[in-house]
Structure 1
């Protein structure tokens, strides 16, 4: 179209002498071909008043098609004053309107902006055409001596002007904001493909594909473009990017202000998409990569061979890995050290990965995990088996420190497996992982991880200190024969046993959702057996109670490590040789927690004289739901007369003391505050 309009203007100039005599000259052309465009249903009309120095030119084309550039217009109309120039040439400038042009102009301009204007100037030596709107200007120059060469000069040209050309190379893609400056040489010989080459400068560009799996914003850069248009088109882009951001699938890239080198060569494979025989990326010591690829028509990667090097992992996470880390729930992770990596993808599936890690570290700013001294190699293969080994010097998990370990690995058939169990020193004991099998995410399924786990001799006192719990003492041990991670959830078979206060605490039905993501969720059943109440209450600062305790916490659910649901019951039981006594401090603490008072026999007047009391039974329960704890006490007790009351402590001996609860529904936040106050001794007794 850019070349066809000058041809029509030339035809009008040939009509000008007749128009001077006849005042009006007209011509109709059924079809006109140029190397760039084809015009149909063309009408040329020139009105030229007698003795006037210019005439009014109106050109209308029913159809204008430039398939090599991707432009197709209907009912194209251009009106302008045609006049001679001092160089014995002609010039004409006016508004350009038509279906396709109007919509594109509307997308470009703001409210009330001027329409697109086309200007033509030509003589025996050269032809110049200019398309402008506001500050945007696209100038086309052709010289008679080189008829196949057209020079295109772009000044602040909106990217949407190139939308049709982009659609030719990338189906469904579209430009948004952004402008182009440049100078392109367009060679359009009659018997050879169209060629476009020259420098381009990109400002604040925005683009996306049809399903928004590829999106770019604020992209800028300086490039050399080389394009050959044909059935097997070829594009080469080489230069530097200046800032901006883009998303490709789950890969989010935030470019630095410093220039990033880029070189891409792409060959069209028709309906099969694109082949990229050369890809290069240079971001200093942060990331340097090279490789080749094949893309599907929608831009998705079908084949990829890539070699990458990073000597400084620190900036790598925020610039290139934040998308993937976010998917894994690891946003904000801090990296250091270096890595060399090779990757191969075939038919859209991961075939091979090799990563050589050098003195690397990985830390979560939220303190959930960390590794120091990571080194070794990690090899994944979907084909022939390969062996590797990764090791570290120290680490931590939710404040729990663990020591050096080495992981022997083998990969084949698309799974990464441990070659032998590996033991990690941890909190005075050890954690042993066995039968580890890791299958990376695929198109039809997410990552899948399976492993067995055993804990032995873990000092629970050290665990309590690390987690900010009361100073519990004991040993944590147990075995989970099989654990399975999939869909951001870990399910544990088997259970863990904690030897605590001369008794046992056993965890079963363990499951953990979003372990490193937002609001991690833990579910479990807990059984307590034979706990020494004297040692338990001493640690909790909850007065003194002697005796033995059994209990259960069923359906426990923690969200972001805060209880949201459970059904808990605890009860004492008589044990040979073990006294059952409760201190006055413990009585008032229990009373404060359970909205209770203590009721006495006739000896009640003497209660204040005693420091402790005998009891026959002790029991309390709480079923948490919707932030309300429904309280309960001993079953089958006759001490509570009100139907809403429940017995927590059933006394024995003289003086006999019963502790009765009178409020079965307690706000969970209030209950926690009471427990904390009781532990600090900040309650007073109530005697009825």
Structure 2
């Protein structure tokens, strides 16, 4: 792939160089026809004959040597019976010759004044709209191309590589070539319909615009400017529609036709792109030395350029605004040594990935080996996985594949905060990333978290410590237990792992235990009906795939505690009984006049596998089990009669029960 990209760069110089050779050959032939210059040391003629008859006059040369090159079977004829001396003029002159195995013919006007050795020629290739204008008083050859593919001219004279022969285009413009200096140039020539395809890596269709170029063969340099405003291009994963996103390309090549070509190229779009690249070409190897990219309008740049690439990596429909710039430097071998990213009032939003950045400003410095300056970023608001990080800033060091926060950072989240005391990452460029993290969560309202995530609104708060974690490939594993304070109790999460958290079909696995949950706060959160007491339990082997639970082994139960009432409301009993396969003991009796009942114990268990929950509780006998065991007078029990329950149906009833009524 690299070899072909390099070849594309060299084609610009190759075409101009070979076209110059075409100019020189045709010019030399016309010169010989009109002027007896074969005494020059640069020229050698074999088989020279003069051809004259009653109808026309002409000249035949079997072989002509000129500056190390030669043509064969050269034949000049004027069909008109005109004066040869002292002035020869022919309005319908014809010249044919063979070169590089190909036969060529030109026709047009010629004029020669033998007295002052002044000659002129204005001719056209017989099989292409290519016009030449020459004057012995001016060493500059003019060649006008009208909707011609210049590569086909090069192919006829010197040949082209196989991949270049399929390039189609139309070129119109005036090209000049100086016979003495070897300089060629074209100004504001137009081209259109440039089509080319190389496998699926490089595809251009209908490319068009203008080109200006100056080629100095003796100095081995070329300066060019190209405007692209037609057609489209697919380059690897980058798609550009040049009608919607016209660009101008300015460049310079030095050391042409040598083993090492140096180049500098600037690609600009008037609204949203300023870029420059420098480097060298050594045979078939392209070596980049420096890259500078500035995007003052990222909204426009994203719409026209970035969106197609982001969509491939699963970040389609990303919005952005503001500006950014990127600069990169490389060592003599073309290996990246450092880069810097600057953000200026940058905004990004991707609803699907739950990512957002508002008014982000700062600089990211990266170095391959040498220490770099600290990086700093600040923002008005940052949203990661749906969680908002309010106005704050961060300072860090990014060296090779290592990242480390510089000092302790506290990030406000909702009405609380997350304090990072230590955060480092090693192997960021590898499949296995080692993360070291120590953090503390100051109380954050569960109501705000669940509202943001679209979950049933919960009261209470979450707080605790976060231990270290490690990321290998797309799997994140927490080291040790995650301790949280929630619902006035304690929760511990062990063996927590997350796979493809922001990708397709994310998987979360964990073992959870909790104790001392305030049942009153928990049941009020869901409007289930008031239950008081303290709840404990464990959820082992929990696995959530694509945000749906598909495996668990869970038990929840109340723990009798001195000074804590254990009561259940009639409304809670009715809601439990409405879930299916469960029956309370109230019915239409005088017990309906009671609002609350005391209970002795509550227990419920579920082993989920293949979308079926094997449910249980207290006193499991056959298909019957007790969920709530009453206590006191009046005494009530809640009993289940179905041990196997479809999990999706059960959750749907649980979440959509009309608790408010």
Q: Same fold (TM over 0.5)?
A: yes
Give the secondary-structure state (helix, strand or coil) at the position aligned to 2:657. helix
Which residue of 1 is the match for residue 627 of structure 2? 649
In structure 2, do the counterparts of structure 1 residues 158 and 566 end up closer, same or farther at CA, with 3 Å as the change threshold? Answer: farther
Whole-angstrom CA distance in 2 between matches of 1:295 and 1:490: 43
Residue 640 of structure 2 is aligned to residue 659 of structure 1? yes
Whole-angstrom CA distance in 1 between matches of 2:593 and 2:616: 24
Give the secondary-structure state (helix, strand or coil) at the position aligned to 1:380. strand
Give the secondary-structure state (helix, strand or coil) at the position aligned to 1:633. strand
- 8 Å CA contact 1:359–1:373 kept in 2: the answer is yes
Give the secondary-structure state (helix, strand or coil) at the position aligned to 1:220. strand
* Contiguous gaps of at least 5 residues in structure 2: 1-20, 34-45, 81-87, 112-119
- 8 Å CA contact 1:339–1:357 kept in 2: the answer is yes
Whole-angstrom CA distance in 2 between matches of 1:646 and 1:32: 111
Which residue of 1 is the match for residue 653 of structure 2? 674
Which residue of 2 is the match for residue 202 of structure 1? 191
1:478-516 C-alpha deviation (Å, 9 max, x unpaired)? 444444557566444345333222333333444445555
1:554-583 C-alpha deviation (Å, 9 max, x unpaired)? 342342xx3163324233144234666655
- 8 Å CA contact 2:147–2:171 kept in 1: the answer is yes
Which residue of 2 is the match for residue 313 of structure 1? 298
Which residue of 2 is the match for residue 685 of structure 1? none
Whole-angstrom CA distance in 2 between matches of 1:169 and 1:436: 57
Which residue of 2 is the match for residue 452 of structure 1? 437
Alpha-carbon offset, residue 471 of structure 1: 2.3
Count matched residues: 594
Matches for 1:523-538 after TM superposition, within 5 Å: 523-530=508-515, 531-538=517-524
Alpha-carbon offset, residue 328 of structure 1: 6.1
Give the secondary-structure state (helix, strand or coil) at the position aligned to 1:405. strand
- 8 Å CA contact 1:405–1:422 kept in 2: the answer is no
Which residue of 2 is the match for residue 571 of structure 1? 556
1:248-286 C-alpha deviation (Å, 9 max, x unpaired)? 55655555747543211123577967421x322333363
**RMSD of Structure 2 on Structure 1 (CA):** 5.1
1:601-656 C-alpha deviation (Å, 9 max, x unpaired)? xx98869858668575532325254xxx211122795433xxxx464636557555
In structure 2, do the counterparts of structure 1 residues 652 and 680 end up closer, same or farther at CA, with 3 Å as the change threshold? Answer: closer
Residue 208 of structure 2 is aligned to residue 220 of structure 1? yes
* Contiguous gaps of at least 5 residues in structure 1: 22-26, 47-52, 55-84, 102-116, 683-688
Which residue of 2 is the match for residue 77 of structure 1? none
2:223 to 209, 221, 236: 236
Residue 406 of structure 2 is aligned to residue 403 of structure 1? no
1:440-483 C-alpha deviation (Å, 9 max, x unpaired)? 987xx589684525223222222122222222123323444444
Matches for 1:23-422 after TM superposition, within 5 Å: 87=90, 89-91=92-94, 120-121=107-108, 123=110, 125-126=120-121, 128-130=123-125, 138-143=129-134, 145=136, 150-158=141-149, 161=152, 176=167, 178-186=169-177, 195=184, 197-207=186-196, 212-227=200-215, 234-242=221-229, 244-246=231-233, 248=235, 253=240, 255=242, 257=244, 260-267=247-254, 274-276=261-263, 278-284=264-270, 286-295=272-281, 302-322=287-307, 325-326=310-311, 329-346=314-331, 347-366=333-352, 368-382=354-368, 383-413=370-400, 415-422=402-409
Whole-angstrom CA distance in 1 between matches of 2:261 and 2:162: 11
Alpha-carbon offset, residue 196 of structure 1: 5.4
Give the secondary-structure state (helix, strand or coil) at the position aligned to 1:314. helix
Give the secondary-structure state (helix, strand or coil) at the position aligned to 1:658. strand
- 8 Å CA contact 1:139–1:152 kept in 2: the answer is yes
Give the secondary-structure state (helix, strand or coil) at the position aligned to 2:374. strand
Give the secondary-structure state (helix, strand or coil) at the position aligned to 2:299. coil
1:5-32 C-alpha deviation (Å, 9 max, x unpaired)? 9979x999979868999xxxxx997x77
- 8 Å CA contact 2:556–2:605 kept in 1: the answer is yes
In structure 2, do the counterparts of structure 1 residues 616 and 361 end up closer, same or farther at CA, with 3 Å as the change threshold? Answer: closer
In structure 2, do the counterparts of structure 1 residues 580 and 331 end up closer, same or farther at CA, with 3 Å as the change threshold? Answer: same
Which residue of 1 is the match for residue 449 of structure 2? 463
1:416-462 C-alpha deviation (Å, 9 max, x unpaired)? 532212211112221233544568987xx589684525223222222
In structure 2, do the counterparts of structure 1 residues 228 and 484 end up closer, same or farther at CA, with 3 Å as the change threshold? Answer: farther
In structure 2, do the counterparts of structure 1 residues 145 and 36 end up closer, same or farther at CA, with 3 Å as the change threshold? Answer: farther
- 8 Å CA contact 1:509–1:523 kept in 2: the answer is no
Alpha-carbon offset, residue 540 of structure 1: 1.9
Give the secondary-structure state (helix, strand or coil) at the position aligned to 1:470. coil
In structure 2, do the counterparts of structure 1 residues 636 and 470 end up closer, same or farther at CA, with 3 Å as the change threshold? Answer: closer
Give the secondary-structure state (helix, strand or coil) at the position aligned to 1:386. coil
Whole-angstrom CA distance in 1 between matches of 2:101 and 2:131: 22
Give the secondary-structure state (helix, strand or coil) at the position aligned to 1:463. helix
In structure 2, do the counterparts of structure 1 residues 153 and 508 end up closer, same or farther at CA, with 3 Å as the change threshold? Answer: farther
Alpha-carbon offset, residue 351 of structure 1: 1.7
Whole-angstrom CA distance in 1 between matches of 2:73 and 2:241: 52
In structure 2, do the counterparts of structure 1 residues 340 and 635 end up closer, same or farther at CA, with 3 Å as the change threshold? Answer: closer
Give the secondary-structure state (helix, strand or coil) at the position aligned to 1:537. helix
Q: TM-score scaled to structure 1, two decimals?
A: 0.69
- 8 Å CA contact 2:481–2:493 kept in 1: the answer is yes
- 8 Å CA contact 1:13–1:90 kept in 2: the answer is no
Which residue of 2 is the match for residue 75 of structure 1? none
Whole-angstrom CA distance in 2 between matches of 1:345 and 1:509: 43
Which residue of 2 is the match for residue 493 of structure 1? 479
Which residue of 1 is the match for residue 8 of structure 2? none
- 8 Å CA contact 1:545–1:581 kept in 2: the answer is yes
1:98-124 C-alpha deviation (Å, 9 max, x unpaired)? 9999xxxxxxxxxxxxxxx97644645
Whole-angstrom CA distance in 2 between matches of 1:482 and 1:168: 64
In structure 2, do the counterparts of structure 1 residues 45 and 440 end up closer, same or farther at CA, with 3 Å as the change threshold? Answer: farther
